[in-house]
Amino acid sequence: MSKRQTGLAILGACLLACSIGLAADPGVADPVQGQAAAAVCASCHQADGSGMNIPGAESWPRLAGLDATYLAKQIEDFKSGQRSSPTMQAFAQMLTDEQIPHVAAWFASLPAPSLSAAEPYSPELLERGRLLATEGDWDNYLVPCSSCHGPDNLGAGSVFPAIAGQHPAYIRDQLLNWQQGSRQNDPQQLMATVAARMSADDIQAVAAWLSTQPGTPEQKPE
Ligand code: HEC
Ligand code: HEC
């Protein structure tokens, strides 16, 4: 190796080490730091992040195992009011901007809850939901949910959250919020467009079916 090459190799090693050094900065999300700040969230989202389905009332979504960047964006949007929820705005405002990525990383690190016993849905309702989620309804210009939310609707990257294994009342409420224009913080209004094409029966069916599906790849039957 020439002197110059050695110098470049050292420079390269330094750049790598320096970037690792930067990655350990306090600015980076740390689930352990997030755990303490997440204590106030447990009364609704539960300590294990599994949330709760409350038909007829405001449901508490499962947060466990959702993507950290997605979660952080939602908390920021609640805090700024860009995603409207009086309940969540109050709790998001209890977090400093520095705490938000840590809390998001904490919930993202928790295993998705195991499936709760399915409600007694009719086979017809579940089949309609499965069709919408996995094949779409081309007569109504509805692409399958899985085309964005990933195979098995378990999420894709930081933009498309997992919707399989989420509580049915929460899924239904969010679709209604988009139809009514009260949730508007999604990129390029993708979900507003989808929701606008769904009937009340479609929404009930897809929420029911998705809630009966595994929330992580590990829970998929062999
Ligand atoms: C009093 C009950 C309550 C408490 C406490 C609470 N939340 Fe929520 N949370 C809700 C409700 C209700 C929603 C659904 C809001 C909606 O309809 O848009 C929600 C939604 C969320 C979402 C959006 C999830 C998604 O999939 O888009 C996140 C993230 C969240 N909460 C994080 C937190 C964090 C972090 C805390 C603690 C600092 C917290 N919540 C405390 C009730 C609560
Ligand atoms: C064209 C892409 C696209 C399609 C198709 C799509 N979604 Fe979404 N969906 C999104 C995006 C993007 C978000 C995240 C919105 C945000 O960041 O606020 C989202 C979020 C959601 C949420 C909120 C999840 C949460 O944790 O709050 C639900 C529920 C949802 N979608 C249901 C559906 C259902 C049901 C279908 C099929 C009928 C569907 N989506 C099809 C793009 C899509």
Are 143 and 213 within one domain?
A: yes
Distance between Cα 194 and ligand 1 center (Å): 23
Residue ranges making up the domain that contains 47: 26-109
How far apart are the C-alpha atoms of 108 and 65, rounded to whole Å? 4
How far apart are the C-alpha atoms of 99 and 34, rounded to whole Å? 7
Does residue 159's CB lie within 6 angstroms of at least one atom of ligand 2?
A: yes
Q: How many domains does the chain have?
A: 2
Q: What is the CATH classification number for the domain harbouring 101?
A: 1.10.760.10
Q: Is 15 within the bounds of a domain?
A: no
Whether this prediction's pTM lies above 0.75 is answered by yes
Distance between Cα 138 and ligand 1 center (Å): 34
Residue pLDDT, tens place only, 91-128: 999 999 999 999 999 999 999 987 666 678 999 999 99
Residue 19's pLDDT is what?
39
Say whether pLDDT at 90 is over 60: yes
Are 129 and 69 within one domain?
A: no
- Of 50, 76, 109, which marks where a domain is finished? 109
